[in-house]
């Protein structure tokens, strides 16, 4: 077994050992939580969101160019059945006018507030604010 393969198995075991079910059907991460409340794991000299690692494991093709959201709204939940892919593009939910409106409301409204108001992910809001989508 190579050193890399051994470390991958050790990483996987650590992740599995730090996930525990709760009464609501969530699989709660009991390891490290970031400042935003998301489960993360430091692996290969990089910090990884645990729910994203799990989603990528089950759906490697779907995970490309997409955001993974928690349907249960529990940020440290790792239950694959509670995850949904949301494309980075805004799709039909937002128009160029809405994106301009979002930019005008920021920073008087937080990224989280804007995401909730427009029913999109915080990633989408951040991409709009950075001018990566719906450029003006």
pLDDT tier for residue 68 given thresholds of 50, 70 and 90? confident
Q: Which domain holds residue 41?
A: 3-87
Is the domain of 66 the same as that of 124? no
Q: Can you tell me whether residue 54 is helix, strand or coil? A: helix
Q: Is residue 67 part of a domain?
A: yes
Rounded-to-integer distance, Cα 27 and Cα 20, Å:
5
Is the domain of 72 the same as that of 26? yes
Q: What is the DSSP letter of 9?
A: H
> Could you give the number of structural domains in the chain?
2
Q: How far apart are the first and last CA of the chain?
A: 52
Is the domain of 7 the same as that of 24? yes
Reported as a single tens digit per residue, the pLDDT across 82-127 is 998 876 555 557 888 999 999 999 999 999 899 888 888 888 899 8
48-52, 67-71, 83-87, 117-121: range with lowest mean pLDDT = 83-87
Q: Are 109 and 103 a contacting pair, CB within 8 Å? A: no
What is the percent of the chain with per-residue pLDDT over 90, rounded to a whole number?
42
Question: When comparing pLDDT for 61 and 136, which is higher?
Answer: 61
Is the domain of 101 the same as that of 75? no
Rounded-to-integer distance, Cα 13 and Cα 39, Å:
16
Q: Is residue 134 part of a domain?
A: no
Is the domain of 19 the same as that of 77? yes
In this predicted structure, the answer to whether residue 19 has a pLDDT above a threshold of 90 is yes
| pLDDT for residue 114 | 92
pTM of the model: 0.60
């Amino acid at each position: 077994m190579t050193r890399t393969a051994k470390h991958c198995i050790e990483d996987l075991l650590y992740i599995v050992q730090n996930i525990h079910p709760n009464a609501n059907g969530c699989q709660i991460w009991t390891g490290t939580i970031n400042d935003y409340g998301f489960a993360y794991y430091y692996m290969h000299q990089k910090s990884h969101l645990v729910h994203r690692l799990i989603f990528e494991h089950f759906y490697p093709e779907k995970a490309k160019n997409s955001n993974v959201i928690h349907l249960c709204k529990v940020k440290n939940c790792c239950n694959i059945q509670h995850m949904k892919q949301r494309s980075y593009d805004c799709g039909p939910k937002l128009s160029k006018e809405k994106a301009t409106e979002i930019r005008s409301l920021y920073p008087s409204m937080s990224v989280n507030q804007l995401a909730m108001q427009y029913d999109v992910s915080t990633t989408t809001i951040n991409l709009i604010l950075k001018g990566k989508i719906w450029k003006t």
